Amino acid sequence: MKHFLWLLMLVFVFGLSACTTDETYEETPIPTNDGEELIELTLEELSYYDGKDGKPAYIAVQGYIYDVTDSSFWTNGGHNGYSAGQDLTDEIINSSPHGIENMSRVPKIGILVTGE
């Protein structure tokens, strides 16, 4: 009986150790525009892509530009009171309940650059 309890405890300890996770996470790859090179837009240029009047809907987050045109969450260039054609980094990081994690669901198509 003593050996059985030791064996059971040993199996339990090994079972628990197998269930622990490593605290490092790999970044989820973000889809780009079918392998095309990333575009570069300034904030002024980005403002054109507001999703209105048939234009594409682009947003910038943490220096990258994402195409939210085909996202069911963005209609007519808007989502939960936010408008496309803007840098929404602060809003997404500080106000969005999902943070930046959902950005991996839309294509990353460009880089936000400073105007010259």
Distance between CA atoms of 59 and 66, rounded to whole angstroms? Answer: 5
pLDDT, one tens digit for every residue, the chain (116 residues): 766 666 656 565 555 555 544 444 333 344 555 667 899 999 999 999 999 999 999 999 999 999 999 999 999 999 989 999 999 999 999 988 888 888 999 999 999 998 76
- Whether residue 56 lies inside any domain: the answer is yes
- Whether residue 92 lies inside any domain: the answer is yes
Q: What is the 3-state secondary structure (H, E, C) of 20-81?
A: CCCCCCCCCCCCECCCCCCEEECHHHHCCCECCCCCCEEEEECCEEEECCCCCCCECCEECC
Instruction: Look up the pTM and report it.
Output: 0.69
- Whether residue 23 lies inside any domain: the answer is no
- Whether residue 40 lies inside any domain: the answer is yes
Return the CATH number at 43. Answer: 3.10.120.10
- Whether residue 62 lies inside any domain: the answer is yes
- Whether residue 10 lies inside any domain: the answer is no
Domain count, the chain: 1
Structural domain of 49: 30-112
